[in-house]
Amino acid sequence: MAAISLCMITRDEEKYLAQCLNSVKEAADEIIIVDSGSTDKTKEIAKKFNSKIFDFKWKDDFSAARNESLKHAAKEWVLVLDADEIIEEKDLAKIKDAVKNPDDFAGFALEQRSYIKDYFEGAVRNSSGFEPIKDYPFYISNSLIRLFKNNLGLKFKNRVHELVEDSIGEKKLKYKNMDVVLHHFGSLKDEKTINEKTEDYSRIILKQLEEEPENPRYNYQAARMCIGKNDFGKALEYFQKTAKLNPNYKLVYSEIAKIHLRMNDSNRAIEYFKKSMNNNPDNPSPANNLAVVYMSMGNFKKAKEILEGQMKKNPENEALKYNYDECMKNIEKE
pLDDT in tens, the chain (334 residues): 699 999 999 999 999 999 999 999 999 999 999 999 999 999 999 999 999 999 999 999 999 999 999 999 999 999 999 999 999 999 999 999 999 999 999 999 999 999 999 987 788 999 999 999 999 999 999 999 999 999 999 999 999 999 999 999 999 999 999 999 999 999 888 888 888 888 999 999 999 999 999 999 999 999 999 998 999 999 999 999 999 999 999 999 999 999 999 999 999 999 999 999 999 999 999 999 999 999 999 999 999 999 999 999 999 988 899 999 999 999 988 7
pLDDT value of position 159: 96
Contact call for residues 6 and 85 (beta carbons, < 8 A): no
- Where does residue 209 fall: left (phi above 0), alpha (psi -120 to 50 degrees), or beta otherwise? alpha
Residues 255 and 290: beta-carbon distance below 8 Å:
no
Write down the pLDDT at residue 1. 64
CATH number of 191-333: 1.25.40.10
Q: Residue 38's pLDDT is what?
A: 97
Domains 4-188 and 191-333 share a fold: no
Domain 4-188: which topology? Answer: Spore Coat Polysaccharide Biosynthesis Protein SpsA; Chain A (3.90.550)
**Confidence (pLDDT) at 122:** 81
> For residue 232, what are the β-bridge partners?
none
Largest CA distance in the chain: 70
As beta bridge partners, residue 31 has: 6
| CA dist., res. 144 & res. 302, Å (int) | 38
Of 230, 236, 228, nearest in space to 252 by CA: 236
| Domain definitions of the chain by residue range | 4-188, 191-333
| Strand stretches in the chain, DSSP E | 4-10, 30-35, 52-55, 77-80, 85-86, 107-116, 124-125, 138-149, 175-184
Write the Ramachandran bin of 103: left for phi over 0, alpha for psi from -120 to 50, otherwise beta: left
